[in-house]
Amino acid sequence: MIDFEWYRSFIGIYKHGSVSAAAKARFMTQPAMSQHLAALESEVGEPLFTRAPRKMVPTDKGKELYTKLVPLIENLESTTQEIKQTSNHPSEMPLVKLGSPVEFFTGRVLEKVRSLDIRYLVHFGTAPTLLNQMINEEVDLIMTPQKQTVTGIEYTHLEVETFVIVAPMNMRVEKELEDIEGWLKEQAWLSYGLDLPIIRRYWREHFNKRPDVKAKHIIPNLQSILKAIVRGMGISVLPLYLIEEAVEEGKVQILFPETSVENALYAAYRIDQREDPNIKSIVQQWKK
């Protein structure tokens, strides 16, 4: 009789391309993973993979089995998650530990997830911090601008955020300014960090070089940077979703809108939680 776990191990090896990576993703030992595969191949009657030096290449039989299994396994795992949650806490809303940069949570995430019947335990932090929390299972789902290849972590694209140069309303700029870079270098810059993270991205995209500027103020919060701009303390590069209201109210202005930069945002979760109905509900909110 075929064990369900053999199928899960087979799918893990197929997706990750190696026994070691699949074992890490499933929090198993490599010998146990190899035993699952050997047992399944014995039941099937032929090899499911060709063993290459650093990769497991699926055979035709392996491809056929994978195509048949995936929708069945994912549906079964999703159903199991739903049953588990309703049986453990039949009258209590499910809890999701959600990680996000504070500005993105306030500006975008809150509006997207507010209508879901889910409780949230929110963690704020930078992308590297949130990823470490995900790896250590301190959070279930994170919203992040960085997509890093980590075994056992899967990413889903959410949206693209647009960044523009934002300045105080009383700042005057020539309409036909020819040397935009030269003018920008003379301004008082407000940066999220000492390494000019967003400013550096803007400079490289439009001037093909690192920025030859030094930030006047380091403020590690985009909402606080916006308030500093309103008060005339300098200029910065901020996402449109954060400044829309301030622009409409005439508190700040966008400079050189044709030189905007775009940045992708992702939802990240552990592969073994891919079929969690609550995580799926949160991610699917971006499609509405």
CA distance 262 to 251: 23
3-class DSSP assignment, residue 104: helix
Per DSSP bridges, beta strands 153-168 and 261-270 are antiparallel
Q: CB-based contacts of 136: which residues, under 8 Å, 6+ apart?
A: none
Which residue, among 195, 241, 252, 185, has the nearest Cα to 218 in the 3D structure? Answer: 195
Instruction: Indicate the helix (H) or strand (E) that contains 142.
Output: strand 141-144
Ramachandran quadrant class, 196 (left: phi over 0; alpha: psi -120 to 50; beta: rest) = left
Which residue, among 174, 220, 178, has the nearest Cα to 196 in the 3D structure? Answer: 220
End-to-end Cα spacing for the chain: 43
Q: Which amino acid appears at position 48 of this protein?
A: L
Residue 234 has what DSSP assignment?
-
The pLDDT profile of the chain, 288 residues, written as one tens digit per residue, is 677 788 888 888 888 888 888 888 777 888 888 999 999 999 889 899 998 877 889 999 989 888 888 777 766 666 655 555 555 554 567 899 999 999 999 989 999 998 899 999 999 998 999 998 988 889 999 999 999 888 788 999 999 999 999 999 999 887 777 788 999 999 999 999 999 989 999 999 999 999 989 999 999 999 999 999 999 999 999 999 999 999 999 999 999 999 999 999 999 998 888 888 999 999 998 876
Percentage with pLDDT > 70 across the chain: 93
Structural domain boundaries of the chain? 4-88, 95-158+264-287, 161-262
Instruction: Please tell me the predicted confidence (pLDDT) of residue 1.
Output: 64
3-class DSSP assignment, residue 256: coil
State the fold for domain 161-262.
D-Maltodextrin-Binding Protein; domain 2 (3.40.190)
Q: What is the pTM of this model?
A: 0.67
Domains 4-88 and 95-158+264-287 share a fold: no
| Exposed / middle / buried, residue 166 (Cβ in 10 Å: 0-12, 13-18, 19+) | buried
Residue 33 has what DSSP assignment?
H
User: Would you give the distance in Å from CA 80 to the centre of its chain?
Assistant: 26
State the fold for domain 95-158+264-287.
D-Maltodextrin-Binding Protein; domain 2 (3.40.190)
Place of tokens 């966008």: 254
Instruction: Indicate the helix (H) or strand (E) that contains 167.
Output: strand 153-168
Out of 3.90.110.10, 1.10.10.10, 2.30.30.830, 2.60.40.10, the CATH code matching 4-88 is 1.10.10.10
